[in-house]
Structure 1
Amino acid sequence: MMKTFYIAATVLILFSTVRAQPGSVNYDESKVPVYTLPALLETADGLQVTNTVQWEQQRRPEILELFARQVYGRTPKDPIAVRYEVLTENPHALGGKATSKQIKFVFHNGKKEIEAILLLFLPNNVQGKFPLFVAYNFKGNHSTTLDTTILYTKNFALVKEPNHPDWERGCQASRWAYDDVIARGYGIATMCYHDIFPDKPDLKDHSVVSLFPGYGKGEDAADEWQAIGAWAWGSSRILDYLTTEPSVDMDRIAIMGHSRQGKAALWAGAQDMRFKIVISNDSGAGGAALSRRKYGETIAIVSNIKPAWFCRALDRYHGREEDMPVDQHQLLALMAPRPVYVASAEEDRWADPKGEYLAAYHASPAYALYNLKGLPSATPPPIHQPIMNDVGYHIRAGKHDVTRYDWLAFLDFADKHFRK
């Protein structure tokens, strides 16, 4: 236990040190290098993409392949069996406004099992089918609410020692605007991301990755998937379960991810078209922010802090972002024609708010192919003035977090596109 705690503490110290040393992180806009983004609407053989057929049949698959090969790794196609067990159902949740359900997922390959628990809140006052948000939580389902009936999961005990404050119920409830979501007529599904891939060194054996054929047989290939790929895969498995809930409208599912889970949400949305709105909140490098700006968190910094997130192929571009065959505007463009929303925070310079905005702006030409509206200008909007086109964006006051302001903006964006 002491050895494991020491490793975790070392990672935390490194994370704090990287943030604290201004010489190692660029927060000076004048030091952003001149860069040229890889072409969005030009195929590998130099053809200009001028219509949606070319985009969908040629350019989009090219870009998706580049991100799989060079950034996130390839998601295996092997089927992993899963069984569901409804653990609790409470029709009087949130003061009677919602029905809560806790469903245990048991992923298995005939030799090994990995368990996860999905927490659902479904609105009681909606007639017919309703839209729903999917979003991972960081500190366990118990952290999102004060409800004492919410269960702890097996993997949480692996990543947090018994007296850690993250065991406290409701310790991140401020990030979960359940009442607002339910009041708008939406459901919400959340799961602790540690259940899918524990975000702590040396725990890969406890992740879903360990269930797939070939796991543990030698060193990872350069394009082998890692944590972000696994979290994206897990989001799609939540969708699989939701098809069994008759009141959920599968044509109106939004995925929202914050920080590292913003990275994973974008990769999930790129691969799984069943996510009809994709939302990134403060996702930074490897998420919504342009890598070539080399501002705040860079792929080298984040990969050194968390080497298990990205595939090994990305290592060759540390400090050489200009040589990457992709950048994050192309990832955002993979959502087209589905609405995509990027959210930033004014004080979160680590995540490069301007770089997040510019990526969304430069993704807009893919939306124009569908006669949809992207971002109007290369100049970001002022704080608290959201843009709610088919490509949306806001920057709010404050730091790296998910706030009620963010959720209300996400709901407004979803209302605009889901309630046409």
Structure 2
Amino acid sequence: MDPEQTDLASRYAPAVARQRRIAPQQKGMGRVVWDAARIVDYVSGLDFVDPQRIACMGHSLGGKMALYAAAFDRRIAAAIGSDLGIGLSFSNWDAPWYLGPEVREPDFPRDHHQLLALIAPRPFLLIAGEDADGERSWPYLNAAREVYALYGAEERLGMCNHGTGHTPTWDALKAAYAWLDAQLGWEPAGQGAANAESAGG
């Protein structure tokens, strides 16, 4: 285990152990989805929130949350995930606080293009930096795009690749916010929205 993963394991181990006692059959991502759904429950009831235009955005672990929450909760109208590692082999999805070691088995039958397909036709944007995600992420997006096409919504799935590493740049974030504005009709999109590619790479 590399030093970064060792550090994460020491930080997350108590929470993993507690979750295994509470719900031994539930994966870490299952708990993440449950937590996100409770947040949607709460914000949906706030007077100043439009429950039809709730979006979810996150980076790294938070990007994983955005992907899974949007796939399993249709109340989330749009999602943005930043450098989450869209392929199961792109990131530490085998960690016990995510999906566990089964996802590394050669015959594991699932991957995340299928989760992206569950989100269709709702908008999803992947922010990439050529770290966990980048040009190698296009096959996942393009596979899911076939389902988006059934809804005539291919342009609602895209990627903004700033190419500078794991942390998103401010320009990439501005492009993502403009894309979100355009998708949910908050305000006219600025030039940044054009930087979120919807065509395959």
TM range (shorter): 0.7 to 0.9
**d(CA) in 2 for partners of 1:298 and 1:259?**
9
8 Å Cα contact 1:229/1:264 also seen in 2: no
Which residue identity is paired with 1:391?
L
- Which residue does 1:259 correspond to in 2? 60
2:175 to 409, 412, 420: 409
Correspondence for 1:280:
81
Identify if the C-alpha distance between structure 1 residues 199 and 15 changes in structure 2 by more than 3 Å, giving closer, same or farther: closer
Where in structure 2 are the equivalents of 1:316-355 lying within 5 Å?
A: 316-318=102-104, 320=106, 323-346=107-130, 348=131, 351-355=132-136
CA drift of 1:342 comes to 1.0
In the alignment, the residues of structure 2 paired with residue 269 and residue 199 of structure 1 have an alpha-carbon distance, to the nearest angstrom, of 26
**What is the rounded CA distance, in whole Å, between the counterparts of 1:242 and 1:215 in structure 2?**
26
Structure 1 residue ranges (4+ consecutive) displaced by more than 4 angstroms after TM superposition:
none
| Residue 98 of structure 2 corresponds to residue 309 of structure 1 | yes
Partners of 1:14 and 1:278 lie apart in 2 by 27
* Structure 2 CA distance for aligned equivalents of residues 273 and 337 of structure 1: 10
Where 1:367 maps in the other structure, the secondary structure is helix
Counterpart mapping for 1:12-411 below 5 A: 13=3, 15=5, 200-204=12-16, 209=19, 215=22, 220=24, 224-284=25-85, 288-289=86-87, 291=88, 294=89, 297=90, 302-303=93-94, 306-311=95-100, 315-318=101-104, 320=106, 323-346=107-130, 348=131, 351-373=132-154, 389-411=155-177
Q: Could you say which structure has the larger radius of gyration?
A: 1
Deviations 1:178-221 (A, max 9, x none): xxxxxxxxxxxxxxxxxxxx951123466xx47xxx827xxx3x
- Aligned-partner SS, 1:251: coil
Whether the 8 Å contact between 1:342 and 1:357 is mirrored in structure 2 is no
Q: State the TM-score, normalizing by the size of structure 1.
A: 0.40
> Offset at 1:14?
5.6
2:43 maps to amino acid: L
User: Given that residues 251 and 276 in structure 1 are in contact (C-alpha distance below 8 angstroms), is that contact kept between their aligned partners in structure 2?
Assistant: yes
Consecutive unaligned residues of structure 1, counting only runs of 5 or more, are 1-10, 17-158, 160-197, 374-388
Structure 1 residue 253, shift from structure 2 partner: 1.1
Kindly tell me the number of residue pairs found equivalent between the two proteins: 185
SS in 2 for 1:248: coil
- The separation in 2 between residues aligned to 1:419 and 1:412, in whole angstroms, is 10
| Matched AA of 1:201 | A
Superposed CA deviations along residues 217-263 of structure 1, whole A, max 9, x for unmatched, are xxx3xxx2232221222111111111231111111111012112212
CA offset at residue 367 of structure 1?
0.9
Aligned to 2:198: none
The residue aligned with 2:199 is none
Answer whether contact 1:252 1:418 (CA < 8 A) is retained: yes
Cα separation, partners in 2 of 1:310 and 1:319, compared to 1, 3 Å? closer
Query: Aligned-residue CA RMSD in angstroms?
Result: 2.8
**d(CA) in 2 for partners of 1:233, 1:354:** 31
> Gaps spanning 5+ residues in structure 2: where?
187-201
Letter of the 2:77 partner, please give it: K
8 Å CA contact 2:58, 2:66 repeated in 1: yes
Alpha-carbon contact 1:225-1:310 (below 8 Å) kept: no
Task: Name the % identity.
Answer: 29
Q: Match of 1:309, as an amino acid?
A: Y
TM-score by length of 2: 0.79
1:121 corresponds to which residue?
A: none
